[in-house]
Amino acid sequence: MISVTVFLAGPASEGPTLWTFFGRFHPATVHFPIALVTLAGGLELWQVIRRKPGFAPATPVLSSLGLASSLLATLMGWANGSDRKHDDVMEAHRWAGVVTTGVALAATILVTAAPNRSGWIVHAGRASLFVGMLLVGVTGHWGGQLVHGKQYYSSGAPPWLSGFFPAEPLGGPGELPGEPGSPRASGKVDFEKEVAPILEANCLRCHSPLAKVEGKLRLDTRVMAMKGSENGKVLLEGNPAGSTLYSLLLETDAKDRMPAKAKPLPRAEIETIRRWIQEGASWPAGIVLKPPARK
């Protein structure tokens, strides 16, 4: 019994196992239930429009395959999350996956148990397939947010449209500065612990009031960093691609790349900066960055 619990919960802290490896195939399987359940539901919608009394001939097989792939994708998703940080989107996504599988099971029982019957079984079967269609969409949306960040749509939308996308669709403000241990902060990049050290070690030498460089940009406080340089803003919350503070790290021309006169930053650090900006570039007001002490 205990081993079953460990299997389902996943070993959180013991490093990679077969279970976490199994989980890495979640992205490869997850589109099958989305397509199959949507197809089964779409087919039944077509039956309703044409006023057909019973299920379409292909519905039982589509629904069964949808259920099987949904079960597999959910198990893999559970495994995939077992060695990762959990935030509210992750919780919403994984439980939506479980509910989707439950609804797919109900739909499959209804459409396969009595494929030729009409009446309430057909209504109930169709209703659960329609709910299933909705659920794969919602679950997939939260899964997309996990991969691409909450500002994915708004960062690519023109200004008149981006207002329709709330920056924090789930669970209110996603960051609680000064409480790094809080469950909401746990899934996000921690400015003080992860971003500040990168900027201090690589940028403050030149971008601080102490710097004796011609540069005007200051990255020592939030206010100065947000103000930007003489060329304008360098940091756009939620929009790494539009932020030169990020894009100049990737610049291939060494003449323009930041940090100037140094090797490019390691990929992992660049990715930390990208995620930090994507997540809204939070910078608690009290934190002032300093250049590293002279050796």
User: Of the two residues 72 and 258, which places its CB atom closer to ligand HEC in the complex?
Assistant: 258
217-236: which residues touch ligand HEC (CB under 6 A)?
217, 229, 231, 234
Q: What are phi and psi of 25, to 5 degrees?
A: -90, 5
User: Of the two residues 185 and 189, which places its CB atom closer to ligand HEC in the complex?
Assistant: 189
User: Of the two residues 124 and 224, which places its CB atom closer to ligand HEC in the complex?
Assistant: 224
Q: What are phi and psi of 135, to 5 degrees?
A: -65, -40
Q: Is 213 in the site for ligand HEC (CB under 6 A)?
A: yes
Which one of residues 258, 277, 281, 289 is an interface residue with ligand HEC (CB under 6 A)?
A: 258
Q: Is 248 in the site for ligand HEC (CB under 6 A)?
A: yes
User: Of the two residues 37 and 235, which places its CB atom closer to ligand HEC in the complex?
Assistant: 235
Secondary structure (DSSP) of 120-187: HHHHHHHHHHHHHHHHHHHHHHHHHHHHH-TTHHHHHS-HHHHTTS-S--SSS-S--TT-TTSTTGGG
Query: By three-state DSSP, how is residue 232 classified?
Result: strand
CA distances from 45 to 40, 60, 104, 262 (A): 9, 14, 16, 61
The total number of residues shown for the chain amounts to 295
Alpha carbons within 13 angstroms on the beta-carbon side of residue 14 total 9
Q: Which stretch binds ligand HEC (CB under 6 A): 96-104, 153-161, 169-177, 242-250?
A: 242-250
Q: Is 239 in the site for ligand HEC (CB under 6 A)?
A: no
User: Of the two residues 51 and 255, which places its CB atom closer to ligand HEC in the complex?
Assistant: 255
Peptide bond into 259 cis (omega under 30): yes
Q: Is 202 in the site for ligand HEC (CB under 6 A)?
A: yes
Interface positions with ligand HEC (CB under 6 A): 202-203, 205-207, 213-217, 229, 231, 234, 244-245, 248-249, 258-262, 265
